[in-house]
């Protein structure tokens, strides 16, 4: 299996409850390394651009409002099969449907305030990483 990179975001519900360390522990214990990390306040335009794929969905405006309701932590994770592994660690979008032990089962508040984002393909990972980080910021 190849070593991959994926983009992770700890969402405002996670930063508000001081869960950065608890969630990072899940990643690190599963063998994912944090190669870059920054805590930022997204602007509305940035959140709209990041979630542009969802702009036709009914929840888009609420989602953008939620993503700018507080700071987020953007991070680059690396490891074997990192894209799929992170999705597995995150659990289902709706925490009520998430497998026990996953980040969303343990920490998410709702289908919207679900604590984490993770890229869903290697190609999206590449684009999402470059949305937040320059190559010089990513230290392997
Ligand atoms: P993410 O892209 O954040 O990693 P995901 O891939 O599991 O999550 P998507 O379908 O891409 O889920 O939806 C993006 C985000 O939009 C979700 O993580 C959640 O915050 C929000 N969302 C998704 N479905 C709903 C919904 N039905 N109602 C409200 N918010 C939703
Ligand atoms: Mg998604």
Could you tell me the two tokens for 121?
A: 């393909």
**Tokens 């932590």 belong to which residue?**
73
pLDDT at 1 over 80: no
* Residue with CA at minimum distance from ligand 1 atom 18: 93
- Collapsing DSSP states into helix, strand and coil, what is residue 136? helix
Which of 58, 62, 114, 116 is the pocket-test mutation for ligand 1 (most atoms within 8 Å of CB)? 114
Q: What is the pLDDT of residues 6-58, one digit of tens each?
A: 999 999 999 999 999 999 999 999 999 999 999 999 999 999 999 999 999 99
pLDDT at 139: 95
CA end-to-end span of the chain, whole Å?
18
Full-model pTM: 0.97
Report the C-alpha gap between 5 and 140 in whole angstroms.
Answer: 10
Average pLDDT, the chain: 98
Ligand nearest to the CA of 92: 1
95: CB partners within 8 A, 6+ apart: 104, 105, 108, 109, 110, 111, 114
Catalytic: which of 117, 118, 119, 132? 117
pLDDT at 124 over 90: yes
pLDDT at 69: 98
Active site residue 117: yes
Is the distance from CB of 89 to CB of 24 less than 8 angstroms?
A: no
């Amino acid at each position: 299996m190849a070593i991959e990179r994926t983009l992770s975001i700890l969402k405002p519900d996670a930063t508000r409850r001081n869960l950065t360390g608890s969630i990072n522990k899940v990643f690190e214990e599963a063998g994912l390394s944090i190669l870059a990390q920054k805590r930022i306040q997204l602007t509305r335009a940035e959140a709209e651009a990041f979630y542009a794929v969802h702009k036709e969905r009914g929840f888009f405006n609420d989602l953008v409002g939620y993503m700018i309701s507080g700071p987020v932590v953007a991070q680059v994770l690396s490891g074997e099969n990192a894209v799929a592994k992170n999705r597995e660690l995150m659990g289902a979008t709706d925490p009520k449907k998430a497998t026990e032990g996953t980040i969303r089962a343990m920490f998410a508040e709702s289908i919207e305030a679900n604590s984490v984002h993770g890229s869903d393909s290697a190609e999206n990972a590449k684009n999402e990483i470059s949305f937040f980080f320059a190559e010089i910021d990513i230290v392997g």
